[in-house]
């Protein structure tokens, strides 16, 4: 609307602009920009944690504060009493059977609230707390899981650093095994060769022994053959004579 | 004293404009849905209550029956809140009007019956004949079962109306008695006050129980016919 005023003033000032007045609102709307600021729904303003303070469960505290400068502490109470008495005495509020029932209901309600209020409030708080605890537990479990994964990863990395010990031991083992196998084979070769050589030696020994025996037998045979019967008789008679002499010597000796 | 005892059951009107629509819409303003995870105590308690009722009532139904969950939860909340709000002094209780209760009972009951007849015709018709009846009794039994079927919505509505109306009437009567007795014989009026207190406690129970019974029976009809 202001734009029309401006444009009509401009039209009177400069007659060439008179026809521009028709374009006025359109121009203004075209030049008005939208969405220049953030939308105001975010950040969401935080909810107040506690409700406003009330006195006697009905009247806000601000009312008492409002009347305090003029009427002090008892002001609102006097006002309330006066209003009630006015309503009663002028029969604006008529006391009927409903009044009694109403008083009984309100009395019962106040009794109920005073008696069960805190426990119900604690129950409601517990409900909320349970929800939060569930989520918190999920969060903690997730954190713990990730932490455990990180720790295990670190441990694995540390183990990887020490892998070379394993390789050294394995290398040593293999070298020892190779050495043992080599020596074993060497020993076997030695044994085989010695076996063959011993065979030849024993063959030679046997041959020599056989030759010796054969020679002895041959010599004995010929000696025995060469002893004639006469020589044998003489030898036997000499032996008997020697034996007799020896017997005599032997007899003689123990007597002494 | 009012014109007569039933004046409190008249539909409230200002200058001839009936206010009953506003009164019926009032309990809905006490249910505050939120999108937060953690609400204030009031909302948390409401949420917990509705979850409790839901679990208790819909657990016996099949998947098809559970599509009625919203309807039944809204029903029980509506009836319970209306009954409870009617206990405050000078309040008008919509559920004392037979018209409203019939308006709630007949469509719901009819919906369950029609659903049963449409999807499970044989099973729904089989409800008319209990198992193991002797053959000569069958015709009479079918007539009786049909009558009992058609009485169901009427029974639902009249049960609710009668209970709430009776309770309110008793409270008015006793209130008037106490007022009159106060000027005659004070101590008996204290006895009547005590009786009123006991009656109010009963009324609280009745209010909640009637809501529960209404919804339970509808859910029962649904279960039979789902």
pLDDT in tens, B178-209: 888 888 888 888 888 888 888 888 888 888 88
Contacts of A121 in chain B (CB under 8 A): 41
Within chain A, where are the H helices? 2-13, 24-31, 61-71, 75-89, 97-161, 163-226, 229-255
Is B92 contained in some domain? yes
Best of B200, B205, B207, B208 to substitute, by most chain A Cβ atoms within 10 angstroms, is: B200
Is B40 contained in some domain? no
Q: Is A62 helix (H, G, I), strand (E, B) or coil?
A: helix
Mean pLDDT, residues B4-21 taken together: 84
Contacts of B45 in chain A (CB under 8 A): 120, 123-124, 127
Nearest to A99 by CA among B172, B156, B13: B172
Contacts of A96 in chain B (CB under 8 A): 1-2, 175-176, 179
Is B208 contained in some domain? yes
- CB of A91 within 8 Å of any CB in chain B? no
Nearest-CB residue to B196 (from A104, A106, A120): A104
Nearest to B210 by CA among B121, B83, B92: B83
Number of structural domains in chain B: 1
Long-range contacts of A24-32 (CB under 8 A, 24+ apart): A27/A3, A28/A3
Q: Kindly report the average pLDDT of chain B as a whole number.
A: 86
Best of A42, A46, A91, A98 to substitute, by most chain B Cβ atoms within 10 angstroms, is: A98
* Cα B78 from Cα B116, distance rounded (Å): 26
Provide the CB-side half-sphere exposure for B40 (13 A, CA). Answer: 10
- Which residue would you say has higher pLDDT here, A113 or B127? A113
Contacts of A105 in chain B (CB under 8 A): 87-89, 200
pLDDT at B126 over 60: yes
Does the distance separating the beta carbons of A98 and B89 come in below 8 Å?
yes
Identify which of A42-51, A241-250, B194-203 has the greatest average pLDDT: A241-250
Question: What are the tokens at B1?
Answer: 């004293």
**For residue B72, what are the domain limits?**
7-29+61-225
Query: Of A45-49, A150-154, A232-236, where does mean pLDDT reach its minimum?
Result: A45-49
Q: Kindly report the average pLDDT of chain A as a whole number.
A: 87
Tokens 């009031």 belong to: B42
Check: pTM over 0.90? Answer yes or no: no
Q: Is A59 helix (H, G, I), strand (E, B) or coil?
A: strand
Compute chain B's Rg from CA coordinates.
21
Contacts of A42 in chain B (CB under 8 A): none
Nearest-CB residue to B171 (from A101, A125, A127): A101
pLDDT at A37 over 80: no
* Cα A76 from Cα A62, distance rounded (Å): 11
Question: What are the tokens at B53?
Answer: 């009722």
Q: Is A60 helix (H, G, I), strand (E, B) or coil?
A: strand
For helices A97-161 and A163-226, what crossing angle results, to 10°? Answer: 40
CA distance B71 to chain A (A): 26
Tokens 């939860």 belong to: B73
Is B45 contained in some domain? no
Is B205 contained in some domain? yes
* Cα B109 from Cα A39, distance rounded (Å): 49
Nearest to B212 by CA among B9, B23, B52: B52
Best of A95, A104, A126 to substitute, by most chain B Cβ atoms within 10 angstroms, is: A104
Report residue B4's pLDDT band, with 50, 70 and 90 as the boundaries. confident
Q: What is the DSSP letter of B39?
A: -
In this prediction, residue B127 carries a pLDDT of: 78
Provide the CB-side half-sphere exposure for A39 (13 A, CA). Answer: 3
Is B151 contained in some domain? yes
The sign one gets for the Cα dihedral A35, A36, A42, A46 is negative
Query: Of A80-84, B5-9, B105-109, where does mean pLDDT reach its minimum?
Result: B5-9
Q: Is the Cβ–Cβ distance between A20 and A7 less than 8 Å?
A: yes
Give the nearest chain B residue to A51 (CA atoms): B40
* Other residues' Cβ atoms within 10 Å of the Cβ of residue B145: 14
Q: Which residues contact B101 (CB under 8 A, 6 or more apart)?
A: B95, B156, B157, B158, B160, B161
Q: Is the Cβ–Cβ distance between B83 and B207 less than 8 Å?
A: yes
pLDDT at A6 over 80: no
> Torsion angle, CA of A140/A142/A145/A149, rounded to 10 degrees?
-130
Is B54 contained in some domain? no
A-B CB pairs within 8 A amount to: 77
Nearest-CB residue to B172 (from A98, A106, A135): A98
Q: Is the Cβ–Cβ distance between B69 and B54 less than 8 Å?
A: yes
Does the distance separating the beta carbons of A96 and B176 come in below 8 Å?
yes
Per-residue 3-state assignment (H helix, E strand, C coil) for A84-112: HHHHHHCCCCCCCHHHHHHHHHHHHHHHH
* Cα B168 from Cα A163, distance rounded (Å): 88
The interface residues of chain A toward chain B in range 129-158, judged by CB-CB distance below 8 A, are: 131-132, 135
Query: Of A45-49, A59-63, B180-184, where does mean pLDDT reach its minimum?
Result: A45-49
pLDDT at B100 over 80: yes
Question: What are the tokens at A214?
Answer: 């054969």
- CB of A121 within 8 Å of any CB in chain B? yes
Is B138 contained in some domain? yes
Does the distance separating the beta carbons of B175 and A96 come in below 8 Å?
yes
The interface residues of chain B toward chain A in range 157-196, judged by CB-CB distance below 8 A, are: 171-179, 193, 196
The interface residues of chain B toward chain A in range 20-49, judged by CB-CB distance below 8 A, are: 36-42, 44-45, 47-48
Q: Which residues contact B14 (CB under 8 A, 6 or more apart)?
A: none
ipTM of the complex: 0.83
* Cα B64 from Cα A117, distance rounded (Å): 40
Provide the CB-side half-sphere exposure for B209 (13 A, CA). Answer: 10
- Which residue would you say has higher pLDDT here, A52 or A125? A125
């Amino acid at each position: 609307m202001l734009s029309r005023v401006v444009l009509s003033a401009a039209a009177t000032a400069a007659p060439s602009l008179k026809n521009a007045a028709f374009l006025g609102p359109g121009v203004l709307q075209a030049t008005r920009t939208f969405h220049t600021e953030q939308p105001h729904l975010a950040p969401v303003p935080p909810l107040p944690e506690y409700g406003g303070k009330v006195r006697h469960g009905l009247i806000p505290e601000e009312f008492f504060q409002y009347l305090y400068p003029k009427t002090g502490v008892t002001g609102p109470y006097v006002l309330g009493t006066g209003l009630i008495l006015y309503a009663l005495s002028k029969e604006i509020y008529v006391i009927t059977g409903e009044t009694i029932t109403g008083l009984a209901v309100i009395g019962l309600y106040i009794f109920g609230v005073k008696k069960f209020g805190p426990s119900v409030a604690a129950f409601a708080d517990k409900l909320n707390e349970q929800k939060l605890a569930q989520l918190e537990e999920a969060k903690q479990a997730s954190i713990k899981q990730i932490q455990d994964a990180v720790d295990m990863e670190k441990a694995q990395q540390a183990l990887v650093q020490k892998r070379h010990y394993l390789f050294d031991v394995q290398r040593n083992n293999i070298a020892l095994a190779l050495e043992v196998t080599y020596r074993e084979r060497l020993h076997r070769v030695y044994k085989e060769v010695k076996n063959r050589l011993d065979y030849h030696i024993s063959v030679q020994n046997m041959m020599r022994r056989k030759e010796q025996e054969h020679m002895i037998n041959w010599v004995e045979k010929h000696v025995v053959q060469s002893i004639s019967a006469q020589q044998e008789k003489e030898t036997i008679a000499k032996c008997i004579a020697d034996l007799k002499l020896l017997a005599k010597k032997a007899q003689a000796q123990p007597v002494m | 004293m009012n014109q007569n005892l039933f004046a409190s059951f008249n539909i409230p009107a200002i200058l001839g404009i009936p206010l009953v629509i506003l009164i019926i819409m009032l309990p809905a303003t006490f249910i505050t849905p939120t999108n937060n995870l953690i609400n204030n105590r009031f909302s948390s308690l409401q949420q917990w209550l509705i979850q409790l009722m839901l679990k208790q009532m819909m657990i016996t139904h099949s998947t098809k029956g559970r599509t009625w969950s919203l309807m039944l939860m809204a029903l029980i909340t509506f009836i319970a809140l209306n009954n409870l709000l009617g206990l405050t002094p000078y309040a008008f209780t919509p559920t004392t009007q037979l018209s409203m209760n019939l308006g709630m009972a007949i469509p719901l009951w009819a919906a369950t019956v029609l659903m049963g007849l449409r999807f499970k015709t044989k099973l729904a018709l089989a409800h008319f004949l209990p198992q193991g009846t002797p053959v000569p009794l069958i015709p009479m039994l079918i007539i009786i079962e049909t009558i009992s079927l058609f009485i169901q919505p009427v029974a639902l509505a009249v049960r609710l109306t009668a209970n709430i109306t009776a309770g309110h009437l008793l409270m008015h009567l006793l209130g008037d008695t106490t007022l009159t007795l106060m000027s005659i014989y004070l101590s008996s009026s204290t006895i009547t006050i005590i009786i009123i207190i006991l009656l109010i406690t009963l009324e609280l129970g009745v209010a909640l129980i009637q809501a529960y019974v209404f919804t339970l029976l509808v859910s029962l009809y649904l279960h039979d016919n789902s």
